[in-house]
Amino acid sequence: MKKGDRAAASFRNSSFLVVPQTVSTSSIPKTLGLSIESDPTEARSFQYFQLRTLPSWTEFFKSDLWSQKVLQLSHSEPAIKHGVLALSTMHERYENTTPIFSTDIKDSAFVQYMLAVKHSNALLKARQEGKASLEVVLIACIIFTCYENLAGNYKAADMHLQNGLRILHQHKEEMKPLPNALSRIVANTLYRFDLQAMTFSYNYELTMVPEFPQISSTYRNNEEARDDLVGILRCMMWYATSMYELRVGQTLTSFTYV
């Protein structure tokens, strides 16, 4: 990956425009005891995710989604587990400045990612049967978006993001956010990704109109203020992009008929 591409990828993370930093921690042992998997390689990847990936992605804002819920789901949902292992392997390569993305069928990150995608199909089926929550499906979309962004596959990342936003929009009433509810945390994570896509993507497509947030006079923490700021910026970016496309369309129409 070129230096410029790596710089762009570094901005596309789970926090709000935060560049992943190198975390000063002890080295990751080659074999570990307690983990989600008895396989030494997978155990080490999971430990790397906990010790390196999480701290670097949640440096300025705490994230119960990543630090708690994703870790919990890694023990029970195969799609989440393999997605985390793929993301961890990709992040370690990023930190070590080694070639990041490979489609080799024996590549460890790619193998884990394909397993995650395979299990996500079963997760969608379980959701249709009422056996899996909507939040878990959206968390899988979030992990896949992170993986593809870090791999530099921005079109694939945008596909996963748009799928997540589409699902969120279709189940808006079901996902009506309550204070500190998982649904609110998941939705706001997708909205942050959407703002970053609006900001950095060259071919962002206007699909679903963002809702303007209900601005509070006071905030209990920085995360609440950040979420409302993201909501305002999404609306501003949407308006600016739609006005630009309208002007371009009018210009092209005028040119056609001259």
Query: What tokens does 87 get?
Result: 């993301």
Count the residues in the chain.
258
Query: What tokens does 100 get?
Result: 């990041």
Residue written as token pair 């129409």:
253
The predicted pLDDT at position 2 comes to 43
Cβ(133)–Cβ(139) below 8 Å? no
Give the C-alpha separation, 76 to 36, whole Å. 9
Return left, alpha or beta for 18; rule: phi > 0 is left, psi -120 to 50 is alpha, else beta.
Answer: beta
The predicted pLDDT at position 46 comes to 93
The predicted pLDDT at position 104 comes to 61
pTM equals 0.78
The predicted pLDDT at position 175 comes to 63
Q: Which residues of the chain have pLDDT under 70?
A: 1-38, 59-60, 98-105, 174-180, 249-258
Q: What is the pLDDT of residues 127-160, one digit of tens each?
A: 989 889 999 999 999 999 999 998 889 899 999 9
Q: How many CB atoms lie within 10 A of CB 138?
A: 23
Q: What is the pLDDT of residues 189-227, one digit of tens each?
A: 999 999 999 888 877 787 788 989 989 899 998 889 999
The predicted pLDDT at position 249 comes to 66
Between the alpha carbon of residue 68 and those of residues 73, 157, 180, the distances in Å are 9, 24, 13
SS3 (DSSP) at 68: helix
**End-to-end CA distance of the chain, in Å?**
45
DSSP 27: P
Q: How many CB atoms lie within 10 A of CB 177?
A: 15
Burial (CB count within 10 angstroms: exposed 0-12, middle 13-18, buried 19+), residue 62: middle
Cβ(195)–Cβ(237) below 8 Å? yes
Burial (CB count within 10 angstroms: exposed 0-12, middle 13-18, buried 19+), residue 83: buried
The predicted pLDDT at position 98 comes to 62
